[in-house]
Amino acid sequence: MDFNFQDSFAIYALTGQGAALAGQIMTALQTSGNSQGQIFLSASAFNAQMPGQPSGQAKTSQTAQSFDRLADCLAGNFRAFSCHILICASGIAVRSLAPLLTSKQSDPAVLLLDQRGSFVISLLSGHLGRANPLATKIADLIGGTPVITTATDTEGLPAIDSLAAQHNLRIVNPAAVRSVSASLLRGERPMLYDPHNLLDLQHSKADEYFQFIHDLEELNSDLLSQNLQIPIVLVNTRAPLDPLGYPETDTAHNILLLESREVWLGLGCKRGTDFAKLEAFALSILEEHKMAPDALAGLASLDLKQDEPALLQLAARWRLPIRFFSAAELDEVSVPHPSERVRQAVGSGSVSEAAALLAAGSLHLLMPKRKKDGITAALAKTNP
C-alpha cells in the first residue's frame, strides 16, 4: 500500500540571502508536490534587499510572515509543522530549540542550513521524524550537500525505527530501539521474528544484519535466563516474550515490539475548519477507544479536501499518512449513515465512513459516523 505522507514545512531565515534561499526552497517544494508550508523572516530579513534586486524583491516570491525573535516564533510553531527548516547559525538554532524539545517519539524534524544552501544538516528527529530523508530531499532540490550524523546511517546499517516508520508499524516500547541499534553498531546480528514479513526484509540481504527467527520455540527459557544478551525484534506478537513482563530487567530493554497499525480515521469537514477543533474532536474519539494517535494507521478523506489546512496539519502533527478518495470511489461504499445532502454537495453520500472503510479495506466500521462543529469522523479497522 502506498502511504501519502503530507509533510508541512516552516522555513525560517534571518538574513536577506537566507530569505532568498527560503523562497527557492519553498518554490522547489511546491513544484515537487509539497504545497503545505510557510516562510518566516526576521524583521531585518523581511525588509532587506539583495544585491541586484529591485526594491521589495528580497522578501521572496512567497507570502512571508515577519518575526522579531526566532525563539518566540519557533515556540509558537513547533507542534504545528512536521518539518522546520532553519537558515541560520547553529548556535542560534540550538539555543532557540532547546526549551521546546520533548522526545524523539514526538519532536518534529528540524533541518539546519547555511544561507548559501551549501549544506543541509539533519539536526533533529532523523529517523522517526524523517529528518534524514528530508535533508537528502531538500539538498537534492537546491543542489546542496546533505549532512547526516546518526550512527546507523553513517555506518550504512539499517535503522530499526526508520524501518518501522517506513512500513507504518507502531513502536510499542521505544526505549528498546537503542538496544537494537547498539547491537548493530557492535557488529552483532539482532534476532528478528517477523512471520508475515511486515518489515519486508526477508529474501533480501538483511540477513547480513539480522538473525531471522522462524519459530519462537527457539527462544526458550535458557535464553531468557541469560537475560537475552542479543536483542530481538518481535513484529506483531507479544508471546511468549513480552518485555512488559520484565520491567526491571535487561531482558525488557532487549525486546523491541513492533505492531501493525490497523485502524483508520475517516474525516470530513467544512472548508476552513479550525485545526484546534478538529484535533480536539479526533482526540476525544481516540480516548473513548483507549487509543493514542500513534496507534492509527492513518487518516482518510475526500480528494476535494487534499488542500484543507486543518486535515493536512493533523496528519503532519500526528505523523500519519493521509489518503484521499474520489467522490465516485466513496459513493460505491455501502455505509450505515448516507446523507443525500452530502451527496448533492460533494458527489458522495458519505465521506468519513466511506473513506475509513476504503482505507482499511474493510466492510465493518469500528465506530460509525460522529458529528461535531461541522466535522464528521468514523473509525474502521483492517480485517476486524
77: its cell numbers: 510553531
Q: Within a domain: residue 63?
A: yes
| Buried b or exposed e, range 187-203, using 16+ CB within 10 angstroms | ebbbbbbbeeebbebbe
Q: Are 107 and 215 in the same domain?
A: no
Cα–Cα distance, 329 to 337 (Å, whole number): 16
Among residues 236, 260, 284, the one where a domain terminates is 260
The total domain count for the chain is 3
Q: Within a domain: residue 104?
A: yes
Given the C-alpha cell 526594491, which residue does it identify?
Answer: 55
Q: Are 368 and 271 in the same domain?
A: yes
Q: Within a domain: residue 154?
A: no
The one-digit pLDDT tens for each residue of the chain (384 residues) are: 334 456 789 999 999 999 999 999 999 988 877 667 899 999 989 887 444 444 334 445 458 999 999 999 999 999 888 899 999 999 999 999 999 998 887 899 999 999 999 999 999 999 888 899 999 999 999 999 999 999 988 889 999 998 998 888 889 888 899 999 999 999 999 999 998 899 998 877 888 999 998 877 766 555 555 556 788 899 988 666 666 665 555 566 888 999 988 999 999 999 999 999 999 999 999 999 999 898 899 999 999 998 898 998 898 888 888 999 999 999 999 999 899 999 999 999 999 999 999 999 988 899 999 999 999 999 999 875
- Tell me the whole-structure pTM to 2 decimals: 0.73
Residue 354 forms beta bridges with which residues?
Answer: none
Q: What DSSP state is assigned to residue 343?
A: H
Q: Within a domain: residue 4?
A: no
Q: Are 256 and 267 in the same domain?
A: no
Cα–Cα distance, 311 to 52 (Å, whole number): 41
Q: Are 28 and 94 in the same domain?
A: yes
Q: Are 326 and 243 in the same domain?
A: no
Residue 232 forms beta bridges with which residues?
Answer: 191, 255
For residue 240, say if its preceding peptide bond is cis, omega within 30 degrees of 0: yes
CATH code, domain with 97: 3.40.50.11220
Q: Within a domain: residue 370?
A: yes
Task: Decide if 193 contacts 234 (C-beta within 8 A).
Answer: yes
Q: Residue 113 CA to chain centroid, in angstroms? A: 21
pLDDT (tens digit per residue) in 36-63: 789 999 998 988 744 444 433 444 545 8
Q: What is the span of the domain harbouring residue 368?
A: 263-381
Among residues 260, 279, 297, the one where a domain terminates is 260
Summary count for the chain: helices (H), strands (E): 15, 17
